Amino acid sequence: MRRILIALTMAVCFTAQLQAETAFNERPKLVVGIVVDQMRWDYLGRYYDQFQTDGLKRLITKGYSCDNCMINYLPTVTAIGHTSIYTGTTPAFHGICGNAFYVNGVKRSSCEDPDVKTVGTDKKDASSPINLLASTIGDQLRLHTDFKSKVISVSYKDRAAILPGGRGANAAYWIDTKNGQFITSTWYMEELPQWAKAYNQEMKQNKELAKVGKDVGLYPLCGHLITDMAIASLKGENLGKGEETDMLCISYSQTDVIGHEWSTRGDKTDEAYMELDKDIARLLKALDAQVGEGNYLLFLTADHGAAHNFKFMEDHKFNADAWKWKEDYLMEAEKQLAEQFGMKPVIKDMLDYRIVLDKESIREQGLDEERVRQIIVDMVLKMPHVSFAFDFKNAATAPVPEFLRERALNGYHHDRSGDIIFMLEPGFYSFGKGSSPIGTTHGTWCPYDAHLPLLFYGWKVEHGSTSREVHITDIAPTVCQKLHIQQPNACIGEPITEVIGD
């Protein structure tokens, strides 16, 4: 009897150990990351009854929803959002401080790289992840599998394709609106693969694309093209068919372009999300066919939200308006500074509510930089509808709510983020030359900009939801833990335990 008990005990222990080892090494065949540019969290509820069964509603009813996912840095813009999702960290560490920022004193777009060339077009401006300082989910997956995993990223915008994939991605593809083709750069390859060339040939025959031309971002057609390219990538690269887990990153940009032009309400935005729903359904169908339902892990989120149009809000008696830095405030600020110091301009730029000082001008004029900083802070605080302003160097003692200070510092990189930051009252947003008077924008700490949808679906994801606050930086460590790979190298987020499961 004693021998039987010992044998049974050993068998149970062996089985438990085997199950643990199997679970630890078990991974999905494919990871799919979807970012919907400018998608507010409340759109899931606003459009829920209109979603078809096999599209976004499928992710909601069968997946896991984190209903209180917040952005934990400033500013809330596209390049930062995409980067933070996939790196699990903030601009303080990943270095992508805006859609444009200063690198060693030179203003650059987030993915601008003068040392690479475009592939698939004669366009001169080329892009790469050269400014990205941290690794991504895809980078870690590639490292873990000795670069056997494939990581492919697709979008309309270069930054929305390049930054999710990371520095080690196999490829990133974005649309050149000049010739209506998907392109890449020599960072990834010298020539487009045959399957990409074949799809570009199909695009040349697209009559609707020929009609809208370079304005394709203003139409749901843009989302259709992104979906088609994602499916072409899925098939052309045989993603999810190899021995190791692959990754496909997809970003839908038309929702952002349409939102900037027509805001959060109206037929254009409604149509954009109904067509997006159809694109998600087509994508899921292709994934089921290629990889098999339950064999891929998918998440869907946004890079930021958006404010309601200021005029719409004013008409309904809300406190809101356009805030015009260059037209209403910059010239007056420079005039006041000149009256006090008799000096040349010392403000180089204002990017995403952050003032960049012209330090060379300050030095040439022999001015006290600290005094100049304080005077500008005091001036900004007196401007209409400014809630807070402070010098990054004096953030620790600034009279600002702690959560705002933390978000501002999370978004601060000493060489790239400017010198002074300010926050407007809720409902007010920066409105410059070229902005649509019936459109909208984003960039603030307010929930309409910072509250994101976050859905997980597929491989070992149980249906459910949570209202616990999680952050955009928690997505990457959650995915990495489910894959049993190391988190990105600058990750500050925490795995979402409700999604991880047992």
Which positions are catalytic? 78
Quickly count: other Cβ atoms within 10 Å of residue 178's Cβ. 12
Cα angle: 414, vertex 418, 419; to 5 degrees: 90
Q: What does each C-alpha distance from 221 to 155, 178, 307, 383, 440 come to in angstroms? A: 13, 16, 24, 42, 21
Nearest-angstrom CA–CA distance, 417 and 315: 35
| CB contact set of 362 (below 8 Å; sequence gap of 6+) | 346, 369, 372
Helix ranges (DSSP H) in 26-48:
43-46
Name the 3-class secondary structure at 80.
helix
Burial of 70 (0-12, 13-18, 19+ CB in 10 A): buried
CB 483 within 8 A of CB 142: no
The residues that bridge with 457 in the sheet, in sequence order, are 298
Comparing C-alpha atoms, which of 241, 236, 234 is closest to residue 284?
234
Beta strands in 177-245 (DSSP E): 181-185
Q: What is the C-alpha separation between 83 and 8, in angstroms, rounded?
A: 51
Return d(Cα 359, Cα 356) in angstroms, integer.
9
Strands 428-430 and 454-458: unpaired
Contact (Cβ atoms closer than 8 angstroms) between residue 479 and residue 499: no
- The phi and psi torsions of 169 (rounded to 5 degrees) equal -65, 150
Q: Return d(Cα 450, Cα 257) in angstroms, integer.
A: 18
Which alpha helices (DSSP H) does 243-329 contain, by range?
Answer: 254-262, 267-290, 310-315
User: What is the C-alpha separation between 211 and 96, in angstroms, rounded?
Assistant: 35
Distance CA(492)–CA(448), nearest Å, equals: 24
Report the C-alpha gap between 305 and 76 in whole angstroms.
8
Rounded-to-integer distance, Cα 347 and Cα 350, Å: 8
Say how many C-beta atoms besides its own lie within 10 A of residue 28's C-beta: 22
Place of tokens 């749901």: 220
User: Considering only CA atoms, which of 163, 499, 494, 156 is closest in space to residue 299?
Assistant: 499
Question: Quick one: residue 160, left, alpha or beta (phi over 0 = left, psi -120 to 50 = alpha)?
Answer: alpha
Look-up: residue for tokens 């989302």? 223
Phi/psi at 248 (5° precision) = -125, 120
